[in-house]
Amino acid sequence: MKRLLHVLSGDDLSIIRQCDKKVQNRFAWIGALVACIIVISFISFTTALSRLFNSYIIGISVGVFFALVTANIYLLVLYTLSKNMLPYVASKGAKWVSITLRVFLIGVFALIVAKPFELLILSPVLEGDIEEYRNEEYARRMKTIESVYGQSFKDMDWLEKHGDKDSNSSKTILLSQKNADVKALKFRIYHSDFYVQQLRLLNSKHLITWVFTLFMIAVFLAPIYIKYFLPEQADFYQLKREIETRLVLEEYAAFEISYTKLWQKYFQALDQAPIERTARLNLVMAEIQRNNFEFDVDYHDPPFRTMRKIDSRKFGEQDILLDELYNV
């Protein structure tokens, strides 16, 4: 179970397993919260879609899909919030803008997931409000039906008064149609749960739901807090720095070897079958040979590129160049 929770924590399992018990328990708590988020997302999406489409098959199948999508996006964002242990040029402004955007995204997901879940739990408090809404909706639509059919009945009465013999049978048919429409209206009104309207009423009339919403947002943000504020001195980040630095340096060393071999092979082939080259290309070739086919960088700490080399060359003033160009 603890291993599964470590997998759900959204970070490198091999590093977590090498950490002390305290750090392992910290990531187990993160995994437990992520598991709760996945379960809540599944229940929330399934309930909402089942009631909207009036089909549990659609609700469960599509709910599973959206729950998995939410879980994957959440784990991706959670992984990107690990501290960068490689050398880099810090930019506090860009860093906090990036973190804020990701936290905002998690908050939006929390809000989307929270609302259907809140309705599932708090729907009993809405029974009176929904019954009142049904009665108001029924009365409003009945007024429309009465208005439409009332005018038709007036027309029939006028025709009957002026000697139309078929108006009586027409009134009977019209009355039958009215009764059928009223019956259909009553069925639709009193057999619909008004799911969207319940969401509106819950958030407008019962403000306690926003306390629940804030709690859900806190649940979604808790793994981020637990993970991001893990001290850099913890063995998790120390191991992470060691492994990532070694991998980068090994790949960079392999690239340098490949780069040198590539040019050595190229120049060997060039010596055997020389080609005509332009003056500019000759300069490039000469620079490559001067560097002994090695990859040249402008930084003291390749490949991290945090300390740029200082150009020690001395340049003359612009006037000297102009004199050389125009006062030959």
pLDDT in tens, 165-193: 556 666 777 778 888 888 888 888 877 77
Tell me the C-alpha distance between 31 and 15, whole Å: 15
User: Is 105 in the same domain as 206?
Assistant: yes
Domain shared by 108 and 58, yes or no: yes
The predicted model scores a pTM of 0.69
Range of the domain at 188: 126-194
102 and 39 in one domain? yes
Task: Tell me: do 121 and 133 sit in the same domain.
Answer: no
Which phi and psi angles does 299 have, rounded to 5°? -130, 150
Shared domain check, 201 and 162: no
Token pair 């071999």 in the structure block, residue = 261
Say if residue 141 is in the same domain as residue 101. no
In terms of domains, do 7 and 100 share one?
yes
For residues 110 and 176, state if they share a domain. no
Structure tokens at 244: 């990532």
In this prediction, the residues of the chain whose per-residue pLDDT falls under 50 are: none
Are 227 and 117 in the same domain?
A: yes
What pLDDT sits at residue 218? Answer: 92
Domain count, the chain: 3
Q: Please, is 113 exposed, middle or buried when counting C-beta atoms within 10 Å of its C-beta (0-12, 13-18, 19+)? A: buried
My answer on whether 226 and 111 are in the same domain is yes
Distances (CA, A) of 309 to 90, 255, 259, 277, 293: 18, 21, 21, 31, 20
Other CB atoms within 10 A of residue 24 CB: 19
105 shares its domain with 210: yes
Torsion of CA 131, 137, 138, 140, to 10 degrees: 150
Is the domain of 81 the same as that of 216?
Answer: yes
Q: Which residues of 205-241 are buried (b: 16+ CB within 10 A; e: fewer)?
A: eeeebeebbeebbebbebbbeebeebeeeeebbebbb
Residue at a domain's end among 171, 204, 231? 231
Q: Which of 176, 204, 231 is the last residue of a domain?
A: 231
How far apart are alpha carbons 141 and 136 in whole angstroms? 9
